[in-house]
Amino acid sequence: MQAYQEFLAETLIDAPTLQERIASLAEEINRDYADKHEDLLLICILRGALPFMVDLMRHITIPHQMDCMAISSYGVGKFQSSGNVRVTYDLQTNIAGKHVLLVEDIVDSGHTISHVLEMLKTRNPASLRVCSLLDKEERREVVVPIHYRGFSIPNRYVFGYGLDIDEYYRNLPFIGVVDLEKYQSPG
Ligand code: 5GP
């Protein structure tokens, strides 16, 4: 795999800015769910939301549970998602009667989160909300409610802090923009 410095067009959001915003999102969540604490369930959408979920949870002071689910989107190219969304790993928790907060890395076309919301609604949660670190509003194809939004970002392909480029560099503590002309795909 190529060194990321070779295709990093720019750092879009640096690590301190990410951490500061995540702490303030958690404060909002702490306030909003204060009177419902027993039933709060955070759901991490694997794999991209993992670092965000972990950092967010560290600032959530009310008692809560967590679970994970994995989704795959297929049928279109690497830099574009599609409406064909499939659950590849389902929740292990019964969400009926719980206040569910979906934690996502990025909402792009909106198909993934819209599909997950439709599916989870049928399981009768007490409430269902979305917390997304990033929002590429320009690319939206379906309307999705985002209750907690970290940052609105432009229509560029980003990586780092959970977001991958060919499954690499999810570990970086910042969000960078890929220069697609300089990036050489390993496969
Ligand atoms: P949507 O279904 O909203 O179009 O796409 C959501 C999913 O597409 C995200 O969870 C993420 O996996 C992927 N995605 C969308 N934009 C980007 C991006 O700029 N970088 C990376 N690494 N993944 C993205």
Q: Look up the CATH number of the domain holding residue 120.
A: 3.40.50.2020
Query: How many domains does the structure of the chain reveal?
Result: 1
**Ligand 1 mean position, distance from CA 112 (Å):** 9
What is the reported pLDDT for 77? 61
The pTM for the full model equals 0.95
Instruction: Tell me how far apart the alpha carbons of residues 133 and 51 are, in angstroms, rounded to a whole number.
Output: 11
**Ligand 1 mean position, distance from CA 179 (Å):** 16
Q: Which pLDDT band, with edges at 50, 70 and 90, does 187 fall under?
A: confident
What is the reported pLDDT for 83? 66
Q: Let me know if residue 57 belongs to a domain.
A: yes
What is the reported pLDDT for 35? 86
Q: Let me know if residue 23 belongs to a domain.
A: yes
| Assigned token pair, 116 | 């997950």
163 lines ligand 1 (CB under 6 A): yes
112 lines ligand 1 (CB under 6 A): yes
| Assigned token pair, 44 | 């991490």
Catalytic positions: 108
**Ligand 1 mean position, distance from CA 34 (Å):** 31
Q: Let me know if residue 168 belongs to a domain.
A: no
What is the reported pLDDT for 102? 98
What is the reported pLDDT for 84? 79
Instruction: Tell me how far apart the alpha carbons of residues 100 and 80 are, in angstroms, rounded to a whole number.
Output: 28
In this predicted model, what pLDDT tens digit does every residue of 53-110 receive, in sequence order?
999 999 999 999 999 999 987 655 666 666 678 899 999 999 999 999 999 999 999 9
The residues, any chain, with a CB within 8 Å of residue 17's CB and separated by 6 or more, are none
Q: Let me know if residue 7 belongs to a domain.
A: no
- Comparing CA positions, the residue from 128, 131, 127 lying closest to residue 59 is 131
108 lines ligand 1 (CB under 6 A): yes
Instruction: Tell me how far apart the alpha carbons of residues 129 and 24 are, in angstroms, rounded to a whole number.
Output: 17
In this predicted model, what pLDDT tens digit does every residue of 6-53 receive, in sequence order?
999 999 999 999 999 999 999 999 999 998 766 899 999 999 999 999
164 lines ligand 1 (CB under 6 A): yes
Domain range enclosing 61: 15-155
Q: Let me know if residue 185 belongs to a domain.
A: no
Q: Let me know if residue 10 belongs to a domain.
A: no
Q: Let me know if residue 184 belongs to a domain.
A: no
Q: Let me know if residue 150 belongs to a domain.
A: yes
Residue with the smallest CA separation from ligand 1 atom 5 is 108
What is the reported pLDDT for 186? 85
DSSP letters spanning the chain: ---GGGTEEEEEE-HHHHHHHHHHHHHHHHHHTGGGGGGEEEEEEETTTHHHHHHHHHH--S--EEEEEEEEE-SS-TT---S-EEEEE--SS--TT-EEEEEEEEESSSHHHHHHHHHHHTT--SEEEEEEEEE-GGG-SS----SEEEEE--SS-EEBTTB-BTTB-TT-SSEEEE-TTT-----
For helices 50-59 and 15-32, what crossing angle results, to 10°?
A: 60
What is the reported pLDDT for 37? 62
